[in-house]
Structure 1
């Protein structure tokens, strides 16, 4: 979560593994028994017990991962951390559990700890595109744009990489580092996956304004307003664009909407504080 400012950029996208989890049933092949021979009941029984234990562990792992992800999405960071720690206590080599812990620590402001968790997760599965994307998004948010872009390039080599979020992150991070051509190429690629992606449209509007094309910036911020409810970041950008274009009426209109959005945010914060 970034502090709102006139130069606010869209947030980088990470993928909480628990929210993307597909629960897989484990399957184990049974060895065939030669014709005329009797199966060894003890071996078969042991195999069944092993299978059940494996399936029970997998179900418990999946349950904790999903519940931790749901708690995080609901803003229940302490509960999410407890569940994620139970998960990693069961298996310290689970990259999904470590990644979720990293995301939680980052949300808690414990950036050094988050970085260590991301590194541990990636060391266990160094070619997984989602892990590379997650760590890269965090690095870019911490000012490590160059290192993040290297990780994003590695993520693109994974056929299972989350291409929408990955290309959006490449565009936003390249923009942060002043690589405008690469930023535009990646953001347009992301819009090819989702033409109405609010964060990507906002990033494109910022990029066009930085390049001095206020008319193009207007087109993209208007698409952003059509794609999702207005928030403080897009309204601030809209004011800046319209002031550059000299449209005082449009700028005043967006200033009024900005004040309304701020009051709504303050009201929501007050409701949270009263709970």
Structure 2
């Protein structure tokens, strides 16, 4: 009977913690998740939620330690590596952030969306490090898995734009625009390309 009461209590606490987290009330979220973790100390999901709240509350050292603790118990925790990557990236430790994403990919996530998101994040990380060719390849892997990732198409266009391959840039921007027809940024980027190409061909 006791076990049932504990489960029922955790079932109430977890969505409450999520509600506080989503409304930016991190202290309350921490209290609720700590209570849930005390009731179910072997629940990876609860500890991970707690680490995410700590990270969002700016307590990244605690969040990092907690996430590494979870990984030491459950090495295949893909979300743990994603969180670590976000923490390292926030600190500007891009190499470590990249390593965490690679370790997540090494777990061979079966969910295509998760794999695509990891390649997309990896592309963003590489772009931050100015490794544009590798970033492009990573975005390409993301859209091969999930062709509806507008942001990945746009970033591929952006990389080609920087490299001066305007025809390829236009193709990727247009692909992104099909998926996000309301994007002001995409329209601005295409307009920039038009101006560049007009200048190159000696037009007005």
What is the TM-score of this pair, normalised by structure 2?
0.73
Greater length-normalized contact order (CA 8 Å, ≥ 6 residues apart): 1
Structure whose CA Rg is larger = 1
Is residue 2:166 matched to residue 1:166? no
Relative to its length, the structure with more helix (as a share) is 2
Deviation digits for residues 73-117 of structure 1, max 9, x if unmatched? 455545544432332343455432233233333334444444344
> CA RMSD for the aligned pairs?
3.2
Cα pair distance change 1:156/1:208, threshold 3 Å: same
Structure 2 portions without partners, runs of 5+:
200-204
Is residue 2:87 matched to residue 1:135? no
Could you tell me how far apart the structure 2 residues matched to 1:158 and 1:55 are?
33
Cα pair distance change 1:127/1:72, threshold 3 Å: same
Could you tell me how far apart the structure 2 residues matched to 1:102 and 1:236 are?
38
Q: How many residues align?
A: 196
Could you tell me how far apart the structure 2 residues matched to 1:65 and 1:59 are?
10
* Shift, 1:197, TM fit: 1.4
Is residue 2:6 matched to residue 1:72? no
Structure 1 portions without partners, runs of 5+:
1-51, 248-275
SS of residue paired to 1:127: coil
The match for 2:175 is 223
Cα pair distance change 1:146/1:219, threshold 3 Å: same
**Contact map agreement 1:205 1:221 (CA 8 A) in 2:** yes
Could you tell me how far apart the structure 2 residues matched to 1:109 and 1:237 are?
34
**Contact map agreement 1:171 1:182 (CA 8 A) in 2:** yes
Cα pair distance change 1:80/1:202, threshold 3 Å: farther
